[in-house]
Amino acid sequence: MPFKQVACLLIHILPTVLLLSGSMGRSYIVEDAVEGYLSKLCEQQAGSITGLLIGQSSTQRDFVVTATRTPQKEESAAAAGNSPDKEWVIEHARQVSRMLPGGLSVLGVFIITDADSKDTLTTVRQLVFAVENLISSEHLWNPADDDVTDCVTLHVNPKTRKTFCRTFDVKDPKSMAKPADWKYQSGVCSSWSMVSCCINVDMLVPLPDSRTGTENMDTSLKEELKAWAHQLESGVCLIDGKKLAEDTELTGGQKRNVRQTYTAQILITPDDQRLTDVVQRCGGSVSVRGAIHSRAYLHSNKPKVKLAEKLLKRDVVSTVATRVQMLLEELLTSEEESKGSSRVKQQTEQFCLPRRIFCPVKASGPVCVCDYQFSDEGLSEVTDRLKEMLDIDAAEEDLDTRQETPAEITERDVAAVSAVESVEALEPKRNNYIGVAMASAVALLATAASMLYLSDV
């Protein structure tokens, strides 16, 4: 039975259930390409298949623009059965969340299995709570009062093609399943607006005097990023050069299916309190400096300026934090591999953070996802990750590499590091103190891409 017929059938059945429960539930407007994608998965189904639903929430309704299956574990392919690997699902969700620009997020999970709907309820509940808990734990911003806390679960029976859509309030551990309305529609995000900006980052992070490696560095960087995120959150956002009232409708009076783009600026006031922290004891420093490209997509259902600012600022924080975390993971792997070697650690090290590359979700119109390319990677590795993580068949020519230029170490950068090293040589017994005004290390994000320097005092 085709999906559309089942959807119509469920639309007739659900109102009766909803009336009995006394709650209308949430409404999900779903890109019809998702219907075709799930249908193909049903045809090739062997055992249960899990995956993620990606889109944007709003107070009135949610929009699902794409779906992606959980990559199959090679070692468990034969023994997968009908029991999803929860740890594998949530790790996939963490990786996918990093690849979503502002305005897109993991809205929930789907499962394709011929098990009874009641029997899958516990499974999907556990999955959706675990996914949301992990993703939210990596957020460096505070939740807003208007954030939607309902996440969706979709159960598809591959034999009958019946779908069962339910939501859970993931901020309530005792939340019970609520029925929801699942409707397919073409061109769901064809007229979504995009707000973008380029923002400069200049961050100096003192490292603890007792630091023993990358793990302690991770803690220091995360705390500094949180402080920077708070500073950014209170910044003034200009859209097309104007400061607009929060309740202004961003796309007021515009025609349907007409996509609008806006350029934003975020003006940040220096943190006066931190200027008093003249000297502190530390064992080195990390500095991140440069420019990044950030963007947010907005649904076409009368979005407000307040939403545009919130999504754009969160994307700025997310993209910087993601790059730093990716580099730390690389360093941690390198540390493990080089244990026991006689490699002499340099006093100052320089690293290029990955640049951001965008790729359109073809079936969903102008909306893009993103990936991060390290300097030693080719575009083929980006397309491979897009296929593995998001199940997107992208060609290299589909990728938008124009927004950020790869970081390069210039003579000026080398001179700055040399100057730092000469100061250290002249004062070898200064008891590991540094002043914020005279950093012991310089770190760059470079030309709309990122670079990071590490220095031991």
Residue 146 belongs to domain with CATH number: 3.40.140.10
What number of residues does the chain have? Answer: 457
pLDDT of residue 45: 64
pLDDT of residue 254: 53
CA distance 257 to 196: 20
pLDDT of residue 333: 77
CA-atom Rg of the chain in angstroms: 24
pLDDT of residue 203: 85
Amino acid at the residue 448: A
Note whether 164 and 269 are same-domain residues: no
Note whether 110 and 78 are same-domain residues: yes
Note whether 26 and 79 are same-domain residues: yes
CA distance 43 to 159: 9
| Nearest alpha-carbon partner for 349 in 370, 365, 369, 334 | 334
Note whether 14 and 107 are same-domain residues: yes
CA distance 233 to 271: 12
CA distance 410 to 336: 30
Note whether 365 and 316 are same-domain residues: yes
Note whether 446 and 379 are same-domain residues: yes
Q: Helix H segments across 178-268? A: 214-233
Q: Helix H segments across 22-158? A: 32-43, 86-98, 117-137
Q: Which residue has the tokens 């809205």?
A: 107
Note whether 234 and 296 are same-domain residues: yes
Note whether 169 and 313 are same-domain residues: no
What is this structure's pTM? 0.82
pLDDT of residue 218: 81
**Number of independent structural domains in the chain:** 2
User: 7-36 b/e with 16+ CB inside 10 Å = b?
Assistant: beebeeebeeebeeeeeebbebbbbbbbbe
CA distance 185 to 32: 5
Note whether 121 and 87 are same-domain residues: yes
Amino acid at the residue 154: L
| Nearest alpha-carbon partner for 250 in 306, 313, 305 | 305
Identify the domain boundary among 140, 166, 185.
185
CA distance 381 to 332: 21
Do residues 262 and 194 lie in contact, with contact meaning Cβ atoms separated by under 8 Å? yes
Note whether 277 and 367 are same-domain residues: yes
Q: Show the domain range for 158.
A: 3-185
Per-residue pLDDT of the chain (457 residues), as tens digits, is 444 433 333 333 333 323 233 345 799 999 999 999 999 999 986 788 999 999 999 988 899 999 999 998 876 544 455 578 899 999 999 999 999 999 999 999 999 998 888 889 999 999 999 999 999 999 998 888 889 999 999 999 999 999 999 999 999 999 999 999 999 999 898 889 999 999 988 888 887 766 556 667 788 888 889 999 999 999 999 999 999 999 998 875 455 556 789 999 999 876 655 544 556 667 777 888 888 999 999 998 888 999 999 999 999 999 999 999 988 888 777 766 666 554 445 556 777 889 999 999 976 668 999 999 998 899 999 999 999 999 999 999 999 999 988 776 655 554 444 333 323 322 333 333 333 222 333 444 544 445 565 554 4
Identify the domain boundary among 162, 185, 208.
185
Note whether 248 and 389 are same-domain residues: yes
Note whether 221 and 263 are same-domain residues: yes
Identify the domain boundary among 124, 152, 185.
185
